[in-house]
Structure 1
Amino acid sequence: MNGDIENFDEVTTKGGDLYKKFSPVRCPYFGGDVYFNASGLEHLKFKRPRYARSRRDQYMRFKVLFLVPEVLCLSHTVQGVWETKHFERVRIHSRTDIILKHVTYYEFIAVIRRVRIKIVIKQIEDGQRFFLEHYPFWGSQ
């Protein structure tokens, strides 16, 4: 793994460029689109604001990023749903407020091309569903 980290900058740059090219993906489970916004890309690089993920963690996430749209296009079932209330940043009247909102997280797990991957989709109240993060698990033996 250490030898692979040497091309870390290349993998993260290519992964970031790929993420920016993603268009909304139609997911059969929702019967609608899943969007790829800036918060999903930020979550690939950071655990929370101002706390970056380790280089190894970022590398693993960017390395299998190309599988995310494919998994979402093929997903007819969800493996987990979690509903909660969470403080979300909301832009209101030219200022940003933090407001308690109803949030739903959807979890999809798939094994594709010998890689196990878990994808989390987030929906704030009745708004758009967007990609939040994915957890790669290396190869099935």
Structure 2
Amino acid sequence: MEEQPQKLEFTDTEFEKIRGEAETLYKTFGAVHCPYFGEKINFNTDGLEHLKFKSWNRARSKSDQFMRLKLLRLAPETILNSKTLQGVFEDKLFVRKKKNKRWEKILTDVTYYEFVAVLERKRVKVIVKQVLGGEKFFWTLIPYWRTNDLHKRVLHDGNPELD
């Protein structure tokens, strides 16, 4: 029988503390060398925003943010030690880009690369995103995934853009 994750309980003060610490820590990451790609993966503002928001202008629940931000310190180490790719997901998405001094949504090819690690007894999945023609960058960290009725791993809800 698989162990169920513990119910997450925290106060607003604890949430604000974790969020503040994570935002400060994130700014120190810069770029991390990934052995699998043989190149650096950037930790840009898109990744930090995605940890806090599911999509543009739509915040994640506080418990979702709390777990991701609390484990954020494991993201660079996961990338730094990743010699094997666990999954790839390709899609066409409307991506917001600034063009002629205004924001536009442009249909673009996007690729998500998945790396899984167990660090400090925590199982995490790190997603690296690449928009066609752009650099690879940290997209998100997903703590402890669940299993379906057949006891197969469910790594995402089917849409890495939102996971």
Cα separation, 2, equivalents of 1:85 and 1:135: 22
Show the 5 A alignment for 1:22-101.
Answer: 22-101=29-108
Question: Is 1:125 matched up with 2:132?
Answer: yes
Contact 2:30 2:44 (C-alpha < 8 Å) held by counterparts: no
Structure 1 alignment gaps of length 5 or more: none
Please state how far the C-alpha of 1:82 moved relative to its aligned partner.
0.9
| Unaligned ranges ≥5, structure 2 | 1-7, 146-163
Cα distance in 1 between the residues matched to 2:104 and 2:18: 35
User: Stretches of 4+ moved more than 6 A in 1?
Assistant: none
The root-mean-square deviation of aligned C-alpha atoms, in Å, is 1.6
One-letter amino acid of the counterpart of residue 76, structure 2: P
TM-score by length of 2: 0.79
SS at structure 2 position matched to 1:61: helix
By percentage of residues, which structure has more helix?
1
Kindly tell me the number of residue pairs found equivalent between the two proteins.
138
CA separation in 1, counterparts of 2:35 and 2:25? 23
Deviations 1:56-83 (A, max 9, x none): 1111111110010001000001100111
Question: 1:37 & 1:14 partners in 2: Cα distance?
Answer: 17
Q: Please say if residues 5 and 56 of structure 1, whose CA atoms lie closer than 8 Å, have aligned partners that are also in contact.
A: no
Separation (CA, whole Å) in 2 of partners of 1:93 and 1:47: 27
Distance in 1 (CA, whole Å) between partners of 2:37 and 2:90 is: 16
What is the match of residue 103 of structure 1?
110
Cα deviation per residue 1:6-44 (whole Å; 9 max; x = unaligned)?
511111100011111111001001110111111111111
Q: Contact 1:5/1:59 (CA < 8 Å) preserved in 2?
A: no
